[in-house]
Amino acid sequence: MTLSVDLSHRFGDFALDVTFEAGSGVTALFGRSGAGKSTIVNAVAGLLRPDRADITLGSTVFNDMRTCLPPHKRRIGYVFQDARLFPHLSVAQNLDYAARFGAKSKTRSHVIELLGLGALLSRRPATLSGGERQRVALGRALLAEPELLLMDEPLAALDGPRKSEILPYLDRLKSETGVPILYVSHAVDEVARLADTMVLLEGGRVARAGPLFDVMADPAAVPLLGVREAGAVMRAHVQAHGDDGLSTLRLAAGTLNLLGVHAPVGSEIRLRVLAQDVLLSLEMPTGLSAQNILPVTIKAIRSGGGHGAAISLDANGDALLARVTARAVTSMGLHEGQSLFAIIKATSVAQNAISGDTTLAFSPGP
């Protein structure tokens, strides 16, 4: 089922004018504060009536020139940043309240198992951690049998440990429920881990949109993502775990050896390699401590307004991104179509840069 959004709205001096589509899986709306992310999801939910809108979910018209479907008829689940549970009800009662509005096909027990809520059922929201409250909020939204799930900065209020606690549940939610998700965030690590499609917003406009792997590896997206956060997302298969703590991952262009991968052998994972952690060499390097060396071809070079350049690389069909100085581009004679080698340190991929079919972790090393 596809969500189609075409809307414009004005708040004082700020004008929002966006068009995009969100298909199955997770579509992430990403942008700085004030880019228009929450306004979009509120319009989709029916909590805001835009100045102009054509919004449809499959064959259901939410908004057009004649229609503005009320929120309770949109079959949407909405998970807010602050959970918004009923404080006077137990977890079980919060879930049961939502289940009254849902169909019978999705059982309460399945949602409880999916989100690991069994041990929490008798507790009140005030006794839960932030991550536990968000899991209950997710369960409540799912039990209403939504056709679309909206998540507006659901992890923004959580600290690092609580965020790590809930991310595996979001992975399961994405893979097991089949409910399309529109996910709002300004955290690149969350988007890289969860999203299938990415919509980059800047100043109320869509700056880039498309499959996550393409958008993240686009040099033009670096200013929007931030130079320290920019980096490509790659798929890899776990080939082996060594006694020395290094795991061997198979990519299209070769192998990577990384620390602390706990996914089972044979599973597929995704990892984000920051552009600033990729080194380039004109020749096959020798005598390096870094053992991860991949043959690549330069697809595009984009120079920023400063002294750096973002370089899009083709690693036998996988996209990789490198950030180097403008001086390096000149001194190495870098140009589109050139073949060279990309070097990635085994300790450069951190814990929040990985996701897969199970609970995974990367150790950043010493």
Res 357: pLDDT: 44
Give dist(CA 156, CA 70) in Å, integer.
Answer: 28
What percentage of the chain exceeds 90 in pLDDT? 42
Is the CB of residue 26 less than 8 Å from the CB of residue 176?
no
pLDDT tens digits along 110-124? 888 888 899 999 999
Q: What is the mean pLDDT of residues 333-360?
A: 72
Return the structure tokens found at 146.
Answer: 């939504």
What percentage of the chain exceeds 70 in pLDDT? 92
Q: What is the mean pLDDT of residues 116-141?
A: 91
Averaged pLDDT of the chain? 86
Q: What is the mean pLDDT of residues 134-140?
A: 90
CATH for 3-216, among 1.10.260.40, 3.30.160.270, 3.40.50.300, 3.50.50.60? 3.40.50.300
Res 61: pLDDT: 94
pLDDT tens digits along 241-280? 888 878 899 998 888 888 878 788 888 888 888 999 999 9
Q: Which residue, chain included where needed, has tokens 């056709």? A: 147
What are φ and ψ of residue 46, in 5° steps?
Answer: 90, 10
Residue 338 pLDDT greater than 80, yes or no = yes
Res 348: pLDDT: 66
Q: What is the mean pLDDT of residues 344-364?
A: 52
pLDDT tens digits along 61-112? 999 888 889 998 898 989 988 888 999 999 999 998 877 766 454 578 888 8
- Say if strands 205-211 and 197-202 run parallel, antiparallel, or are unpaired: antiparallel
- The CATH code for residues 231-356 is 2.40.50.100
Residue 361 pLDDT greater than 50, yes or no = no
pLDDT tens digits along 306-334? 788 999 999 999 899 999 999 999 999 99
Give dist(CA 301, CA 213) in Å, integer.
Answer: 18
Give dist(CA 209, CA 169) in Å, integer.
Answer: 26
Residue 189 pLDDT greater than 50, yes or no = yes
51 Cβ contact partners less than 8 Å away, ≥ 6 residues apart: 8, 9, 10
Give dist(CA 186, CA 69) in Å, integer.
Answer: 29
User: Rounded to whole angstroms, what are the CA distances from 222 to 92, 145, 290, 364?
Assistant: 44, 38, 25, 23
Res 278: pLDDT: 92
Return the structure tokens found at 347.
Answer: 């300790």
Q: Which residue, chain included where needed, has tokens 């679309």? A: 148
**pLDDT range class, residue 360, cuts 50, 70, 90:** very low
Res 106: pLDDT: 54
Res 305: pLDDT: 67
Domain boundary assignment for the chain: 3-216, 231-356
Q: What is the mean pLDDT of residues 167-183?
A: 84
**0.75 exceeded by pTM:** yes
> What does the radius of gyration of the chain's CA atoms come to, in whole angstroms?
22
pLDDT tens digits along 20-68? 999 888 999 998 888 889 899 999 999 999 999 999 999 999 998 888 8
354 Cβ contact partners less than 8 Å away, ≥ 6 residues apart: 193, 261, 269, 270, 271, 272, 360, 361, 362
Give dist(CA 214, CA 95) in Å, integer.
Answer: 38
Residue (of 50, 191, 250) closest to 201 by Cα position: 191
| SS3 per-residue string spanning the chain | CCEEEEEEEEECCEEEEEEEEECCCEEEEECCCCCCHHHHHHHHHCCCCCCEEEEEECCEEEECCCCECCHHHCCEEEECCCCCCCCCCCHHHHHHHHHCCCCCCCCHHHHHHHCCCHHHCCCCHHHCCHHHHHHHHHHHHHHCCCCEEEEECCCCCCCHHHHHHHHHHHHHHHHHHCCCEEEEECCHHHHHHHCCEEEEEECCEEEEEEEHHHHHCCHHHHHHHCCCCCEEEEEEEEEEECCCCEEEEEECCEEEEEECCCCCCCCEEEEEEEHHHEEEECCCCCCCCCCEEEEEEEEEEEECCCCEEEEEEEECCEEEEEEEEHHHHHHHCCCCCCEEEEEECCCCCCHHHEEECCCCCCCCCC
Residue 363 pLDDT greater than 90, yes or no = no
**Greater model confidence, 346 or 253:** 253
Give dist(CA 150, CA 114) in Å, integer.
Answer: 18
Of 159-173, 250-264, 293-307, 340-354, the least confident: 340-354
Neighbouring CB atoms inside 10 A of 311's CB total 27
Return the structure tokens found at 22.
Answer: 């969100």
320, β-bridge pairs:
313
